[in-house]
Structure 1
Amino acid sequence: MLRRRLGRLLATTATVVMLAGTAAVPAEATETGPADIRAAIEAVPGLRIVEEEPAAPGFRFFVLTLHQPADHRHPERGGFEQRLTLLHRGADRPTVLYTSGYALSTGQYRSEPAELLDGNQVSTEQRFFGTSRPEPADWNDLDIWQAAADHHHVIQALRGVYRASWISTGGSKGGMTTVYHRRFYPQDVAGSVAYSAPNNVDDRDDSAYLDFLHTVGTPECRGALQAAQRALLERRTALVARYQAWADARGDGFRLVGSADKAFEIAVLRAPFMFWQGRGLSACPAVPAPDASDDALYGWLSEVAQLPVYADAVANQFVPYFYQLGTQLGYFPVETTRLADLLRYPGATEPRTFVPRDVPLRYQPQAMRDVDRWVRTRGEHLMFVNGAADPSVAEPFRLGHGSQDSYLFQVPGGTHSVRIARLPAADAEAAAATLRRWAGM
C-alpha cells in the first residue's frame, strides 16, 4: 500500500496566496535600460501583451500570456496560454521568477528577492490554475515535470530581453514549485529562495507533522485548541445550519465536498494546523473556551480554518492543487483520536474529497523522493527560509553532503509568513549577501 506523504494543504483564496514576502512597488525607483521595452517583449515568439497597466515611477507593468504545450513531450498536440505578469525595472537588472504555485494575482508587488536585488519580476500562473488550462484538460499533463518545463520555457523566452542573472523564488507551494523547477532545470537560474516550503518525504513514517503539533507552543494552548475542537463538534447541528445558511445566501454550496456538515468537520480537524501555521503563540489567548457562545466559536473557526474555502466557489478553483496532493505532493494527516467519538466522515481530509470522482488519483511516491535526493546530493545555490513554529515545515528540505553553496535559515518563533528581513540580524545579512552574490552584484 502506498504511503501517503505530507503535503501542506494551503486551502486559501487567490488573494491570500500572495505570500507575506511581497511588497508594494516603491514610488522612488528609477528605471534603467532601454526605453522601448514593450517592443522587445512583443518580439518574443509566443509571448503576447494582454495589457500594460500604469505603474510606479521607474517601473512598467505588463500582463502577458505565453503559449505553452499542454504536454512538453508532445508539443504538436496543442497547448494553452499561460498567464504571466512582468514588473519591469530595467533590462540590465537581475530578474526574479516568482510563483505562488496557484492562480496568478495581477496586483503589482515585488517579492523580497526582487526588492533586495532591485530587479525585474516575472510572476507565473501554475498550469491548470486560473485561466492557464488546456482545453480539453488531460489531468495526466499536470505534474511537477510539466510545470518545471513551463518555467524553463518562460526563462528561455525572456532571456534574450533580460540577459542579467535570474533568481527564482516562491513561498509555500510556490517554494516547493521553485525547488521542483530547479530539480529538472538546475542551470536555469543563478539561485533560488524557497520560503516556508514543505518537503514531502518523511524518511521515518508519516508522523512528523503530528509530532510537531503535539509539541508546538505550550501545553495550555494545545489543550485549549483541543477543547475548542470538541466544543465545535458537540454544537455542530446549530453551527452547520449557520454555515449552510451562509452558503445559501451567496448562492454557493458544497457539491464538491459533499455537504456543509462534512465541510465543517474537515475545518474543525484542520484548525490546529491552520492556527499554528498562520497565527502562532501570540494568538493563544483568543482561542474560545468550550463554554463560549456559538457566535464566538463559529467566528473563530471561520477565521482560523477559513470556512469559505470548502464551499464550491473557492474549492473548485483548487481542484488542481488537491489533484497534485493525491498524485505527487502527498498530504498531511490530522489528529482524530481525541475526537473519534464525534466524527462522521473517515478520511474526509484526504485529497479525494476535493477532486471529482471521474478524475483518477494515482499516488507516485517516487516523485518527491527524487526531489529530496537531488537537494541533498546535487542541489546548489538553494536557500530555504522557514519559520520555527510553522507546522508546514515540520519536515523541511534538508541539505546534505552534496548540497553546494546552499543554506537553511530559520526565523525564531516564525509562522508561515517569513522573510529574510525577519531572520536574526547576522543571518539576514548573510542571506541577503548570498542572494546578491548569486545575482552577480
Structure 2
Amino acid sequence: MRRRSVLTGFAAYALLGSGTVLPAVAAASGRRLNEALETVPGLTVVGEHTAPRGFRFLELDFVQPVDHADPASGLFRQRLTLLHRGFERPVVAHTSGYDVPEGPFRAEPTRLLDANQISIEHRFFGESRPNPVDWNELTIRQMAADEHRIIRVLGEVYRARWITTGASKGGMTAIYHRCLHPHDVAGTIAYVAPNNVDNERDHYDEFLANVGTAECRAALTALQRQALIRRDELVARLRARAASQGFTFDRVIGGIERGLEMSVVDTRFAFWQYRGLTDRDAIPATTASTDAIYEFIDATVGFSFYTDQGIRPYVPYYYQAGTQLGWPHVTPTELEDLLHHEQLLHPRGLVPREIPMRFRPHVMDRVDRWVRYAGQRLLFVYGENDPWSAEPFRLGPGTRDSAVRTVPGGNHGSEIAGLADEQRRQAIAAVRRWAGVGEEASLLDAQPFLPGLDDRPMPHRPL
C-alpha cells in the first residue's frame, strides 16, 4: 500500500491534538482489518506478511512529533507491527526498547492471553529515526508519549483491555510509560528490567562476586586473564577477521586492541547474562588453544559487538544510558594488572564524540518512587543468575496488586514459565485477571506453542 505523505500525517497529528473524537469504529469486528486501520489518523499499513493460520501480520508506521510538547518540531515515522488475533481479544503492546523484529512473534503475555500484539519500535532505533536527528529528544518522556499516542488511537480499534510488556530495555520502557501515563493500560509485565536508580552506588560488582559457584567464577576469571596474556595472538586473529569481513574499530572505540579488551572484560557479565552454570564445562582451561579461547569469547560476547559496525545500531542505547538510564559500574579488579586501557564499557566511550552527553541523575529516581508509592498492576520477572537483576525494581508501601518474582537459576531470558509452580500460577492468574480473561489459569490454559511465533531466540544486545 502506498505510504501517506508526511503532510497528511501532520494533519492527523493536529486532529489528535485538538481533542477531536476519532471516527467511530465500534463495529470494527464486523469489518475488514485494513478498513478499520485506515480510519486511524497518521497510521499507514505498509504491508502484510505471512503468518500462521488464525493470525494476520501487518507492518505499519505511525506519524509522531519529534517533540510532543512542540508540534512545530517536525515529524517522523515510527515503525510498528501488528499480530492480529481478533478484535474482541486483549492487546499486548510490546517494545524491545530497540528496533522491531522483521517477522511475526509472540511475547509471553500474548501467548498466555491469546491476544493481539502491537510491537513498537523505540524512537531513534531502526527505521524510527527523525531526520535530522536531535539527540535531545531521545528521552524516556518522549518515548512514553509515543506509546501513549499509539495506545490511544489503536484503542479505538481494539476496545478490549491492553497490557504492556517488554524484556530488558523493553521492560524498562514499559515501566517508564506506566509511570508517565499510568491509566493507559490495565497492567504491565516487565521482564529482566534493571532499575539503576542510584548510578553511583550500584550492586553489580557484589552480584558478580557471588553469582553461581566459586569454581565457575574462578574458571571465568582464569579464562579472561589467559586471554589478556595472549593478547597479541587474539589481536592477530581479530585483525584477520576484521580485514575479511570489513570490520573497523577506529570510528568510536579507538582501536582494535581496545575492542579486544572490551570483549574480554565483558565476558564475565555476558556469560551470566546469556549463558549460565549449565555451560560451565564450555569454559576453556588456561591450557586450551588460543583458537578455543577466541571461539569461547566470540560465542559469549561476540568480537564483532565492539566494532564500529556492531556499535552503530546501539548508539541510541548508549546515549540513553549515559544521559538518563544509568549503566553498570563493573570494576575488573582481578584483571587490572593486565589491562592497557581505562573506562572500558563506559557509555561515553561507545557514543561518537560529536554527540554531546550529560547525565541527569534524578530521572530514574522519579520512576523508582512512582513504582514504590503509586504503582499498580505491575509484574517484574527476573533471573536469579542474570547480572541485570543486581539492580531490580522493588515494591514499596504504595504499590498495589503487584509482584516481583525471580526464576531460579534464570538468566536474561527468564520468563513466567520458569517460575516455581505456585508463583507461576499466581502470575498467570494476575495477568489474565488484568486483561479481563479470567483469574484461574495454568500454562496448559495458554495458547499452545506455535513454531514460527514462539521460538524466537533471545537477542544479543547491550541490555
Structure 1 contact 34–90 (Cα < 8 Å) conserved: no
Q: Which residue of 1 aligns with 2:417?
A: 421
Displacement of 1:35 in angstroms is 4.6
- Structure 2: distance between partners of 1:334 and 1:244: 27
- Which of 196, 200, 207 is equivalent to 1:212? 207
Contact 2:247 2:304 survives alignment (8 Å):
no
**d(CA) in 1 for partners of 2:93, 2:259:** 35
Give 1:231-242 correspondences, 5 Å limit: 231-242=226-237
| SS state at 2:426 partner | helix
Structure 2 residue aligned with 1:251: 246
Tell me the secondary structure at the aligned position of residue 408 of structure 1.
strand
Q: Equivalent residue of 2:217, what SS? A: helix
- Indicate the residue corresponding to 1:338 in structure 2: 334
Change (3 A) 1:35 1:53: farther
> Does 2:374 match 1:351?
no
The answer to whether the aligner puts 1:34 opposite 2:25 as a matched pair is: no
Shift of 1:207: 4.3
**Residue in structure 2 matching 1:323, options 319, 324, 327:** 319
- Structure 2 residue aligned with 1:186: 182
Q: Does 2:300 match 1:300?
A: no
Deviation at 1:352, TM superposition (A): 1.0
1:386 — aligned with what? 382
How far off is 1:253 after superposition?
Answer: 0.8
Q: CA–CA distance in 1 between the matches of 2:96 and 2:223?
A: 32
> Is the contact between residue 48 and residue 66 of structure 1 (CA under 8 Å) also seen in structure 2?
yes
Identify the residue that residue 191 of structure 2 maps to in structure 1. Answer: 195
Letter in 1 for 2:190: A
Residue 424 of structure 2: SS of its match in structure 1? helix
Q: Deviations over 1:215-270 (max 9, x none)?
A: 01111111111111100001111101211211211122112211111011011111
SS of residue in 2 equivalent to 1:210? helix
Identity of aligned residues (%): 51
d(CA) in 2 for partners of 1:233, 1:214: 20
The offset of 1:83, in angstroms, is 0.2
Q: Is the counterpart of residue 411 in structure 1 residue 414 in structure 2?
A: no
Cα distance in 2, alignment partners of residues 185 and 195 from structure 1: 19
Task: Report what 2:440 is aligned to.
Answer: none
Please report how far the alpha carbon of residue 76 of structure 1 lies from its aligned counterpart in structure 2 after TM superposition. Answer: 1.8
Look up the equivalent residue of 1:52 and give its one-letter code.
E
In the alignment, the residues of structure 1 paired with residue 334 and residue 410 of structure 2 have an alpha-carbon distance, to the nearest angstrom, of: 27
| TM-score, L = length of structure 1 | 0.91
What CA distance in whole angstroms lies between the structure 2 residues aligned with 1:336 and 1:165? 47
**Residue 94 in structure 1 maps to residue 90 in structure 2:** yes
Whole-Å separation in 1 of the counterparts to 2:197 and 2:387: 15
Question: In structure 1, what is the Cα distance between the partners aligned to 2:211 and 2:71?
Answer: 48
Asked if structure 1 preserves the Cα contact closer than 8 Å seen for 2:196 and 2:202, the reply is no
State whether structure 2 residue 39 is matched by structure 1 residue 46. Answer: no
Q: Does 1:122 align with 2:105?
A: no
Which residue number corresponds to residue 80 of structure 2? 84
Deviations 1:83-108 (A, max 9, x none): 00000101111000000000111211
Structure 1: any 5+ residue segments left out of the alignment? 1-31
Structure 1 residue 206: Cα displacement: 2.5
- Please name the residue that 1:6 is paired with: none
Higher RCO structure, 1 or 2 (CA under 8 Å, sep 6+): 1
Indicate if the aligned counterparts of 2:381 and 2:406 stay in contact, CA closer than 8 A. yes
Q: Distance in 1 between matches of 2:405 and 2:49?
A: 36
Given residue 418 of structure 1, which amino acid in structure 2 is its aligned partner?
S
Q: What amino acid does structure 1 have at the position aligned with 2:426?
A: A
2:162 maps to what in 1? 166
Partner in structure 2 of residue 431 of structure 1? 427
Would you say how many aligned residue pairs link Structure 1 and Structure 2?
Answer: 409
RMSD between aligned residues: 1.2
Structure 2 residue corresponding to 1:224, chosen from 199, 219, 228 = 219
Deviation beyond 2 Å, 4+ runs, structure 1? 32-35
Paired position in structure 2 for 1:395? 391
- Residue 461 of structure 2 corresponds to which residue in structure 1? none
Indicate the larger mover: 237-246 or 332-341.
332-341
Q: Does structure 2 retain, via aligned residues, the 8 Å contact 1:253–1:312? A: yes
1:54 Cα deviation after fit: 2.3
What letter corresponds to residue 116 of structure 1 in structure 2? L
Aligned 8 A contact 1:49 1:64 in 2 = yes
Letter in 1 for 2:219: A
- For the residue of structure 2 that corresponds to 1:110, the secondary structure is coil
Do 1:269 and 1:335's aligned partners in 2 also have CA atoms closer than 8 Å? no
Deviation for aligned residue 1:331: 1.1
d(CA) in 1 for partners of 2:358 and 2:217? 35
Separation in 1 of the partners of 2:102 and 2:258?
33
- Equivalent residue for 1:136, pick from 132, 138, 144: 132
| Structure 1 residues 54-73: aligned runs within 5 Å | 54-73=50-69
Q: Contact conserved, 2:377 with 2:434, CA < 8 A, in 1?
A: yes
CA distance in 2, matches of 1:73, 1:328: 19
Distance, in Å, in 1 between the alignment partners of 2:327 and 2:194 is 10
Decide which moves more: 247-256 or 403-412.
247-256
2:88–2:158: 8 Å Cα contact kept in structure 1? Answer: yes
Q: Output one character per residue of 1:28-77: Cα deviation in whole Å (capped at 9) or x when no partner.
A: xxxx9435011110110000011011222111111000001001110222
Letter aligned with residue 144 of structure 1: I
